[in-house]
């Protein structure tokens, strides 16, 4: 893969309304403009319910805006077909979800291997890389454990390893250290950073944790579906 697989992302006037027109309509995003150049690290902060996960889902092509445009490398991606969007997600996006979404019937190593399998990585390489990643997140002895046999923090680390499997150009992390103690938080942040640097990847960190937010040079604060502040450190 080349550095060109790190997308330049622009959101223009993006809104996302859940259940539009119904009595329980929720206007989760209300006109968001945001440009994220390739390779940038930014944090997204703000109170619960302000739209952080909704925004991340749009950045990572898991969802489509109700109005406005999401552009990747100047091309609108909201109108692309689902097959094309799935391919872009698989090859270019690493998502660390707020709820980890590990597959309960797969072991630690199999969960990490899954995105490589989907991307057609040969078996030997999959095995090698999934072992390395599992070790890198500190779970070397737990390769054969199923998710229900892991602690919350361990599940989170499997989710991080899985997100890094295809060396994505865009890393989207939704509270990636929420379940972790400070030692593991530091280890995961270092791992994210090393992958980011190797790939010159973009890293978006949604977090309430000031230790995590300090990793970013740009800090976006959301409030009630809008961007309230957007500050780059000198
Ligand atoms: N699938 C959905 N259907 C209906 N409403 C939704 C859906 N997902 C999110 N919402 C609502 O949209 C708003 C924004 O939710 P979102 O998950 O983006 O918030 P958040 O900033 O990530 O919050 P938290 O910090 O608690 O994770 C909330 O009011 C939420 O209840
Ligand atoms: Mg959220």
Best residue for ligand 1 mutational test, from 14, 24, 27, 53 (most atoms within 8 Å of Cβ):
53
How high is the pLDDT of residue 194?
87
- The ranges assigned to domains in the chain are 3-232
pLDDT tens string 118-133: 999 999 999 999 999 9
- Give 116's Cβ-side CA count (13 Å radius): 23
Cα 48 to averaged position of ligand 2 atoms, centre (Å): 7
**50 alpha carbon, closest ligand:** 1
Residue located nearest, by CA, to atom 4 of ligand 1: 18
Q: How far is CA 99 from CA 20, 86, 95, 162, 173, in A?
A: 25, 20, 11, 14, 11
Residue 1: pLDDT band with limits 50, 70, 90: very low
CATH code for the domain defined by 3-232: 3.40.50.300
Cα 115 to averaged position of ligand 1 atoms, centre (Å): 26
Cα 53 to averaged position of ligand 2 atoms, centre (Å): 4
Residue located nearest, by CA, to atom 29 of ligand 1: 49
Residue 234: pLDDT band with limits 50, 70, 90: confident
Between helix 123-136 and helix 108-118 the angle, nearest 10°, is 130
Q: Per-residue pLDDT averaged across 168-184, rounded?
A: 92
Cα 176 to averaged position of ligand 2 atoms, centre (Å): 11
Residue 148: pLDDT band with limits 50, 70, 90: very high
**220 alpha carbon, closest ligand:** 1
Question: Which residues approach ligand 1 with their CB closer than 6 A?
Answer: 18-19, 26, 28, 48-54, 98
Ligand 1 atom nearest the C-alpha of 51 is 18
**What's the helix, strand, coil split of the chain in %, to 5?**
40, 25, 35
Q: Is-contact 98 178, C-beta < 8 A?
A: yes
Residue 63: pLDDT band with limits 50, 70, 90: very high
> Which is more confidently placed, 76 or 78?
76
Residue 65 has pLDDT above 90, yes or no: yes
Residue 2 has pLDDT above 60, yes or no: no
- pTM for this model (two decimals): 0.94
Cα 126 to averaged position of ligand 2 atoms, centre (Å): 31
């Amino acid at each position: 893969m080349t550095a060109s697989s790190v997308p330049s992302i622009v959101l223009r006037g993006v809104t996302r309304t859940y259940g539009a027109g119904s009595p329980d309509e929720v206007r989760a995003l209300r006109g968001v403009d945001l440009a994220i150049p390739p390779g940038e690290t930014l944090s997204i902060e703000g109170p619960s319910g302000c739209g952080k996960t909704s925004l991340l889902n749009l950045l990572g092509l898991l969802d489509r805006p109700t109005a406005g445009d999401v552009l990747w490398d100047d091309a609108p991606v909201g109108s692309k077909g689902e097959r094309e969007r799935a391919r872009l997600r698989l090859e270019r996006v690493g998502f660390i979800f707020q709820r980890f979404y590990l597959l309960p019937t797969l072991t630690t190593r199999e969960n990490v291997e899954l995105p490589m399998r989907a991307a057609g990585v040969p078996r030997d390489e999959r095995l090698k890389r999934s072992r390395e990643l599992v070790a890198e997140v500190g779970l070397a002895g737990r390769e054969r454990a199923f998710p229900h046999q892991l602690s919350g923090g361990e599940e989170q680390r499997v989710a991080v390893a899985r997100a890094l499997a295809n060396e994505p150009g865009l890393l989207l992390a939704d509270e990636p250290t929420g379940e972790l103690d400070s030692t593991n938080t530091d280890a995961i942040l270092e791992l994210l950073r090393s992958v980011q640097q190797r790939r010159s990847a973009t890293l978006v960190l949604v977090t309430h944790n000031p230790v995590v937010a300090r990793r970013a040079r740009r800090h976006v604060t959301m409030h009630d579906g809008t961007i309230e502040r957007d500050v780059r450190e000198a």
